[in-house]
Amino acid sequence: MNILSKNYINGQWIDWNGDTIDVHEAGTGEVIAKVPASGREEMEQAIAAADDAFESWSESSLEQRIKVLEQLHAGLKERGGEIAETICREVGMPIKLATGIQAGLPATITKTYLKMLPDFPFTEQSGNSEVQYAPVGVVGCVTPWNYPLHQVILKIVPAIAAGCTVVLKPSEIAPQSAYILAEILDGTDLPKGVFNLVCGPGHTAGDSLIKHPDVRMVSFTGSTRTGHLIAHSAADDFKRIALEMGGKSASVILPDADLGAAVKGTINNCLLNSGQTCTALTRMLVPADKHDEACELAAAAVAKMTPGNPLEETTRLGPLASAQQRDRVVDYIKLGIEEGATLVAGGPDAPEGCEKGYFVKATVFGNVKPDSRIAQEEIFGPVLSVIPYSDEKEAIRIANGTPYGLSGAVWSADQDRAKKVAGKLRTGQVFVNGGAFNPLAPFGGFGYSGIGREFGKWGLEEFLEVRSLQL
């Protein structure tokens, strides 16, 4: 059965005979799959199924929800190799990284909720009141292409754990892992209608999901522009929204930092998934007297990141996910040159030997002005802007000088000094001296980067309403 030619609604695979959307392989540009270009009718069927299933699932026992998530976790582990290769082909993340991140993180996140749920206080006492945490209702999940399964899991696992029902619209650029997920869930004890998948364009299927009155919450990850539209649409019937959007994160290297380690850490973060990461450290702030040395170190680091076939184990830098994204990034590189920044490494020309597929050279700009477009706008590609600063106060001002606030980094030989500067950054998370990513910590942004938090107990609370009984 070719499930990619179907939608998953009310516990059944529903045939689709209409127009389809081509899915391309990032490394070659070839069409590797076709998925439904579904519209309003299919989305309304899925929402009706989720609405019908909500009453019973919202009253299900915690043990029943945990059992389903245990079955999901087992399925994600069992099909990890297939998930990694699928996303590697769609998105371009090298297979070695895709195995650990694109396939590994969804299983890890599911496991964190399995550990958390038995002790989560769905009811608690406050004075003479019993405070109850109740599921919000039908949740519409709209997810991106850069971490296609990870972003889905961050929504549907806590939503299901909270007692909500879900309608998922995955990105049509990288939809196949969502179908694998639907297959796994179809093999669990999850009642029909609790999870539904409809694939289609944003202007039809997505718009219907966002605006439907029976959808009580929209959880979205993607561009700030689309998040803006969702926020306005949700206001019409006071839907709850959780928005995780763009970023233009700064890596602040203080004068006493180990410059080599800080530059290497920044480059590795910036180029992860070929820069197709909302938390990418795309602005590197360095003391003015260390600017040229930092640029030399950055150029040496990116020279080792030559683009190649993402299916090969030795590849460290893969292609971008689509021709549209490649062209957008190339246009930004050309813009950086026009704006007068110094091209330290890379450039707009296609990498040698990578004529097929959506490859872009890892690019470093020096002497970037803080108010230039390449320093202000999210490029979503392997492009780093090196910005000199005169003192710590100016560094903080530059770091906070964009509309975004999703992530950041601070580097210093003095951990307390680094923490003090990190505490002044208007951003949802800060990596201090290369601190490890923590899947139990809250994740989300300030300003144009979003509303709400994912991961850990904060991710679960997004899908719960608070009710108090006065006793």
Q: Active-site positions?
A: 244, 278
**Contact in structure between 301 and 267 (CB atoms under 8 Å):** yes
HEC profile of 72-132: HHHHHHHCHHHHHHHHHHHHCCCHHHHHHCCCHHHHHHHHHHHHHHHHCCCEEEECCEEEE
Rg (CA), the chain: 22
Structure tokens at 189: 């004890």
Residue 342 pairs with which residues in a beta bridge? 366
CA-wise closest residue to 361 among 306, 284, 314: 306
* Residue 72 identity (one-letter amino acid): L
What 28-35 contacts at long range (C-beta under 8 Å, 24+ apart), as own/partner pairs, is 28/356, 28/357, 29/323, 29/356, 29/357, 29/358, 32/89, 32/90, 33/4, 33/175, 33/176, 34/4, 34/5, 35/4, 35/5, 35/172, 35/175, 35/176, 35/179, 35/199
Relative to beta strand 31-36, strand 20-24 is antiparallel
Burial tier of 381 (Cβ tally within 10 Å: 0-12, 13-18, 19+): buried
